[in-house]
């Protein structure tokens, strides 16, 4: 679908190549997803009712996912949308815990999320809504493919929790990471691997390791996720400077390399544009692989179709992320009464339940190392 006519994009953030060469798509189930996720946020008590009523639709969380995971069964896309909404709420809790110095609250939550990652079905009624909501969305995703996929998804999310914890320590100690350290960290806090994992339940096909590790396929996946991360940094920089944030590619460039703000924004934009070129190159190579694969009988045709759907959805990530940043109330900092406090965030002290009993693990002991989607 074309860009909404009312969407005005500041020249510094406009990317004509996205608007012209990356057509925007929305899943047919999109019209129902907004109401479903709104109801889920209320049911799971992830946002206060007044904030859900006033802000949830304008945050456009379901639009982002519905523009990415084309071809997903309706129930799978609904679970992905709920998980994505949860992720944003979790990101906001992390930010509030940093700002208010709630170290014990953060550490408790991180340990509980590690446990829920291993056994979501045992945490569905957890007293902390963030843990229970996470468990619900992950339990639904676990029903889509094999236990091998579940375990891979879990390993990737353990790494996300730990990366969030590293960011928590950096922010509470006033540490701005170097550019290289930030890039490594951002690829985990932005959950690159998670959003790529979800391409497979969307396609209803678990990709073999040789496809996932194919250099061209991996390059395409990294390019689409790096685009999202660096474009998010470009758009989030005013919000994050206002909120005292230390984790943004532009901030690391300013701190480590002495860039001025305009110079940092120019460099971040250059990297954003570089991911587009990298994806287009990798996409052509992946198509060669898919064409070769489909010549190997019916099984090859089925795999080739899955590969093409996954890479097509990587392509969708560019347009979906791009428009999301100009339609979501999450980035409309100039409209907020307090630029350091998003109006959609619940700033209340989080619940402090008793520590749960850690369940026996299917895949080894829980990683109790306590640990961004800005």
Phi, psi angles (nearest 5°) of residue 148 = -65, -45
User: Token pair for residue 206?
Assistant: 């678990």
Q: Which residues contact 205 (CB under 8 A, 6 or more apart)?
A: 302, 303, 306, 309
The topology under which CATH files domain 23-335 is Farnesyl Diphosphate Synthase (1.10.600)
Which residue among 22, 38, 87, 318 is the active-site one? Answer: 87
What's the pLDDT score for residue 342?
85
Task: State whether residue 44 is helix, strand or coil.
Answer: coil
User: Token pair for residue 323?
Assistant: 């428009």
Contact of 84 with 65, CB cutoff 8 Å: yes
Q: Give pTM, 2 decimals.
A: 0.90
Whether 190 is catalytic is yes
Give CA angle at 149 (139, 75), nearest 5°.
45
Whether 88 is catalytic is yes
Which residue among 152, 186, 271, 330 is the active-site one? Answer: 330
What's the pLDDT score for residue 348?
76
Phi, psi angles (nearest 5°) of residue 269 = -60, -40
Whether 153 is catalytic is no
- Please give the Cα distance from 194 to 214 (Å, whole number): 18
Whether 157 is catalytic is no
Please write the tens of the pLDDT for every residue from 21-34: 999 999 999 999 99
Q: At what angle do helices 261-293 and 215-242 cross, to 10 degrees?
A: 150
Please write the tens of the pLDDT for every residue from 6-54: 578 989 899 999 999 999 999 999 999 999 999 999 999 999 999 999 9
Question: How confident is the chain (374 residues) per 10-residue block, as mean pLDDT?
Answer: 60 94 95 96 96 94 96 97 97 94 97 98 97 98 96 98 97 95 97 98 98 98 98 86 84 94 94 98 98 92 98 97 93 79 82 51 36 40
Please write the tens of the pLDDT for every residue from 92-112: 999 999 999 999 999 999 999
What's the pLDDT score for residue 370?
33
Which residue among 134, 168, 190, 279 is the active-site one? Answer: 190
User: Token pair for residue 369?
Assistant: 């190392």
- Please give the Cα distance from 359 to 363 (Å, whole number): 12
What's the pLDDT score for residue 240?
78
What's the pLDDT score for residue 354?
52
Which residue among 88, 153, 217, 227 is the active-site one? Answer: 88
Contact of 315 with 25, CB cutoff 8 Å: no
């Amino acid at each position: 679908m074309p860009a909404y006519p009312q969407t005005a994009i500041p020249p510094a953030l406009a990317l004509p190549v996205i608007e012209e060469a990356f057509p925007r798509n929305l899943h047919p189930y999109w019209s129902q997803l907004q109401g479903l996720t709104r109801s889920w946020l209320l049911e799971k008590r992830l946002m206060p009712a007044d904030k859900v009523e006033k802000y949830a639709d304008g945050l456009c969380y379901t639009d982002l996912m519905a523009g990415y995971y084309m071809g997903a069964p309706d129930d799978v896309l609904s679970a992905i949308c709920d998980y994505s909404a949860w992720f944003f709420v979790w990101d906001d809790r992390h930010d509030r815990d940093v700002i208010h110095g709630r170290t014990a609250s953060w550490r408790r939550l991180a340990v509980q999320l590690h446990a829920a990652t291993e056994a979501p079905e045992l945490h569905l009624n957890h007293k902390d809504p963030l843990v229970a909501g996470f468990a619900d969305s992950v339990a639904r995703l676990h029903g889509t493919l094999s236990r091998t996929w579940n375990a891979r998804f879990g390993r990737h999310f353990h790494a996300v929790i730990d990366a969030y914890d590293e960011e928590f320590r950096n922010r509470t100690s006033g540490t701005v990471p170097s550019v290289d350290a930030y890039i490594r960290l951002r690829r985990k806090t932005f959950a690159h691997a998670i959003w790529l994992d979800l391409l497979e339940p969307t396609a209803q096909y678990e990709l073999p390791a040789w496809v996932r590790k194919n250099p061209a396929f991996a390059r395409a996946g990294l390019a689409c996720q790096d685009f999202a991360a660096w474009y998010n940094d470009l758009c989030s920089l005013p919000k994050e400077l206002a909120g005292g944030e230390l984790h943004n590619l532009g901030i690391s460039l300013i701190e480590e390399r002495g860039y001025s703000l305009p110079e940092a924004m120019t460099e971040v934009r250059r990297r954003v544009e570089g991911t587009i070129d990298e994806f287009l190159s990798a996409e052509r190579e992946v198509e060669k692989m898919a064409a070769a694969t489909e010549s190997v009988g019916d099984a090859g045709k089925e795999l080739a179709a899955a590969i093409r759907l996954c890479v097509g959805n990587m392509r969708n990530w560019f347009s979906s992320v791009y428009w999301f940043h100009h339609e979501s109330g999450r980035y409309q900092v100039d409209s907020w009464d307090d630029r350091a406090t998003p109006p959609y965030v619940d700033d209340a002290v989080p619940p402090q339940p008793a520590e749960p009993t850690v369940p026996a693990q299917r895949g080894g002991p829980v990683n109790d190392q306590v640990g961004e989607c800005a």
